[in-house]
Amino acid sequence: MSSQPKSFQLSPELHNYLLDHGTPPDEVQQGLIEATAALGGISVMQIAPEQGALMTMLTQLIGAKRAIEVGTFTGYSALAIARGLPEDGQLICCDVSDEWTKVGEPFWEKAGVRDRIDLRIAPALETLAAIDEADAFDLAFIDADKTNYANYVEELARLVRPGGLILVDNVLWGGNVIDRNESSEDTLAIRAFNAKVAADERFDTVMLPIADGLTFLRVR
């Protein structure tokens, strides 16, 4: 399989080796990758296939039955999580784009997981605030506007059960988090977020260099 590496600082050759020695995207996942690529440059927002495989496995390993994600884009992460849920599991997807999420819906159908996915098109903070079930979720994933990362975690800290897992994407931000010459709004937001959660005693925190950086927050 040939693909542009998204995992942090891997050469194309090493990235291909990594993909070749893990569970590869199946026909449905590959179809969604290609449909997203057809959108052009915006397709870089899709998570890496190896990250998707990891998220499916994590969903299974923690025995997640209820999950929630903030930022769905064309639905690859939703597909990964939904496949790790039991048949009666549920994933709430929060996104503001009906156009992008519609790209993924046919592939959710083909994978047989559409009935597990509750897609809510609205600003995510509004969707999260309207959920009043404390400790209701086993797993959460954040991959949305970087300036609201801290706000999303505040809401999810209430919604995810003790022992549950919050995954946060793009925490290395292409290496810009350590580039002193980089001061974009998103970069500053990611830096501040990373520092905040590392010191937050509500979580056990691990940052991994998979894809563009993936932080694990285990709710204490």
Query: Residue 15 — pLDDT band, cuts 50, 70, 90?
Result: confident
Query: Residue 1 — pLDDT band, cuts 50, 70, 90?
Result: very low
Exposed, middle or buried by CB within 10 Å (0-12, 13-18, 19+), for 71?
buried
Residue 3 pLDDT > 80, yes or no? no
pLDDT tens column, 117-162: 999 999 999 999 999 999 999 999 999 999 999 999 999 999 999 9
pLDDT tens column, 150-181: 999 999 999 999 999 999 999 999 999 999 99
| Rounded CA separation 20/91 (Å) | 29
> With contact defined as beta carbons under 8 Å apart, do 198 and 215 qualify?
no
CB atoms within 10 A of CB 134: 10
| Rounded CA separation 85/66 (Å) | 8
DSSP 8-state secondary structure symbol assigned to residue 121: E
Q: Are strands 214-219 and 66-70 parallel, antiparallel or unpaired?
A: unpaired
Of 4-13, 17-26, 115-124, 143-152, give the lowest mean pLDDT range: 4-13
Residue 11 pLDDT > 90, yes or no? no
pLDDT tens column, 94-121: 999 999 999 999 999 999 999 999 999 9
Kindly report the CA angle at 70 between 188 and 132, in degrees rounded to 5? 115
Residue 19's pLDDT is: 86
Average pLDDT over residues 188-201: 98
> With contact defined as beta carbons under 8 Å apart, do 167 and 214 qualify?
yes
Q: Which residue has the higher pLDDT, 116 or 12?
A: 116
Outline where 85-148 has alpha helix (H): 98-111, 124-129
| Rounded CA separation 117/113 (Å) | 7
Average pLDDT over residues 177-202: 97
- What's the distance, CA 94 to chain centroid? 11
Query: Residue 9 — pLDDT band, cuts 50, 70, 90?
Result: confident
Residue 116's pLDDT is: 98
pLDDT tens column, 64-100: 999 999 999 999 999 999 999 999 999 999 999 999 9
Is 12-219 a domain of CATH 3.20.20.10?
no
| Contacts with 172 (C-beta within 8 Å, 6 or more apart), sequence order | 8, 207, 209, 212, 213
> With contact defined as beta carbons under 8 Å apart, do 100 and 73 qualify?
yes
Closest CA to 193 of 211, 219, 169, 174: 169
Q: What residues are paired with 91 via a beta bridge?
A: 67, 117
Which residues in the chain belong to E strands, given as ranges?
A: 66-70, 90-95, 117-121, 137-142, 160-169, 203-208, 214-219
Residue 120's pLDDT is: 98
Kindly report the CA angle at 111 between 81 and 83, in degrees rounded to 5? 20
